[in-house]
Structure 1
Amino acid sequence: MAGYDLKKEEEVKEYIENLGIEYRFGCFQEKKPEVCHLLGDYLESIKKDYKKAGNVYKTNCLDYKFGKSCLKFGNYTLVGRGKEKGDPVEALPYFEMGCELGDSTSCLHAGMLLTATGPNVNIKRDVPKGYNYLKKSCDQKDDMACHYLSGMYLTGVPKNPADYNPHNLEKNKNIDYLIKSDKKQAFNFALKSCEYGNMFACANVSMMYKKGDGVEKNPEEAKRYFEIAQKLQKAHETTKEIKFQQGLDK
C-alpha cells in the first residue's frame, strides 16, 4: 500500500487495478499456486466475476494441486456459482482432491456429501468412505467434522435411513446399523469439537455430563462446559456484529 492514499477514490481504484495486475503476473507468468488462489479471490470479491474466478480455482486445483482452490471450486460447483445450477455429483471429486491435498474443510464437505440422506440427495451413499473423510478432517482439528462424527455415534447410522424413526427408539434397536450408537465415542468426538471451538459441541458435552451419557455424571463439569458454550456463543455474536459494522464511521 506504500505510496497510495487510500482516502482518495482515484488512488484506491489504481491500487485495486494494480493488485489485479500483480496477481495475474504471479499466477500466469510465475505460476505460483498461492498467487493464483489470490487471483481467484480477487476476481470473486473485487470484480464479482464468478465465472472467471471459478476457472482460476479449477485450474489451480487441477494443474497446480492447490487444496484450497479445490475447495473453492467444489463449493462453486455445489451451489452453482458461475454456473446455471449446482451439481453435488460434479462437486464431490474436487472436495476429495482437496482433501487428499491436505485441506481439512474439503474432507469435511466430501464426508458430509457421502453420508447425507434425503429426497434431494443424488450422490450414492458411502458411509465408510464418508466416515474416513470426516475422521481425517477431525484429526486436522476441524470442529464441524468432529461435531458431525459425534452426532453419528449419538444416534447411530442406519443401513437403511428410512427404517429409522426418531419417535420410536425401541423399534430402532431392531434395525441394521452401519455405525452403531456409541455414547462414549459420541462424547469423545463432542469433547474434541468443543476444544476446537464449537459451541454446539460444548453444549452437548455439558448435557452428556449432566445425564451421564458416555461419561460419568458430573454436575460441576456440566456447568463448566455450559459456561464455555455460552462464552463461545457470545464471542460468535460479537464477531458477527464487528463484521457487520466494519467500515462504518464512529
Structure 2
Amino acid sequence: MQKMIHLLVILSSISMFLYGGQMTQTAFDLTLKKCEEQKNGAECAKLYYYFISSKRSYLAGLKEDKHKALYYAKMACELNDSNGCFTAGMTLYYGDEHAGIAVDKDEGRRLLKKSCDLGQDDVCTYFLNPKF
C-alpha cells in the first residue's frame, strides 16, 4: 500500500511539473507538434498526462486513452526523457487490466532503470530497491 501511495505522490508531482495545470487546445497542439515533429522527449512525456488526466475534458474530442498515453511515454523514454521512462515503466510494471495493458515487469524494470540512469533519484532509491 505504501508503494502505491508513494507512486501517486510522484505521479501527481510530475503531472503538475509537466503541464502546470494548463490544458488548453493551443497548449495540447503545441505539445503534440514539439513531440512528433521536433522529437522533444519532455513534450512527449507531457502527452502522457493529456491522455489520462481528467482535465482533458477541456479539450474538444480528446478522450482518455491509456494506450496512447503509454505510446507517448515510451516515445519520451526513447528520446531520453526520465519522466517518460518512469511513467512508461510504472505503467508496464503494474499493467492496467481495464485498459488492456498487460503486466510486463521485466520491461517495466528496464524502463525504470533507464529513468534512474537519466537522473530520477527517487526511482533509483525506491523503485529499483531489490524488495520492489
> Normalised by the size of structure 1, how large is the TM-score?
0.39
Instruction: Check the 8 A contact 2:96/2:102 in 1, yes or no.
Output: no
Q: More helix by proportion, 1 or 2?
A: 2
- Quick one: distance in 1 between partners of 2:48 and 2:68? 8
Larger RCO (CA within 8 A; separation ≥ 6): 2
Structure 1 position 70 matched with structure 2 position 44: yes
**Runs (5+) with no aligned partner, structure 2:** 1-18
Root-mean-square deviation (Å): 2.3
Instruction: Check the 8 A contact 1:111/1:130 in 2, yes or no.
Output: yes
- Quick one: distance in 2 between partners of 1:64 and 1:87? 23
The correspondence of residues 140-179 of structure 1 with structure 2, limited to 5 A, is 140-146=118-124, 147-150=126-129, 153-154=130-131
**Among 83, 89, 100, which residue is 1:111 paired with?**
89
**Runs (5+) with no aligned partner, structure 1:** 1-40, 156-250
The correspondence of residues 225-244 of structure 1 with structure 2, limited to 5 A, is none
> CA-to-partner distance for each residue in 1:21-80, whole Å, 9 max, x for gaps?
xxxxxxxxxxxxxxxxxxxx6xx76xx552221111111101100111001112111225
Q: Could you tell me how far 1:130 is from its partner in structure 2?
A: 1.3
- The share of aligned pairs that are identical, in percent, is 33
**Among 59, 66, 75, which residue is 1:88 paired with?**
66
AA of the residue aligned to 1:54? F
AA of the residue aligned to 1:154? K
Q: Could you tell me how far 1:145 is from its partner in structure 2?
A: 2.0
State the SS of the aligned residue for 1:154: coil
Instruction: Check the 8 A contact 2:34/2:43 in 1, yes or no.
Output: yes
> CA-to-partner distance for each residue in 1:175-205, whole Å, 9 max, x for gaps?
xxxxxxxxxxxxxxxxxxxxxxxxxxxxxxx
Larger Rg, first or second structure (1 or 2): 1
Count of aligned pairs = 109
Judged with a 3 Å threshold, the aligned counterparts in structure 2 of structure 1 residues 129 and 84 are, in CA distance, closer, same or farther, namely same
**Among 122, 127, 148, which residue is 2:105 paired with?**
127
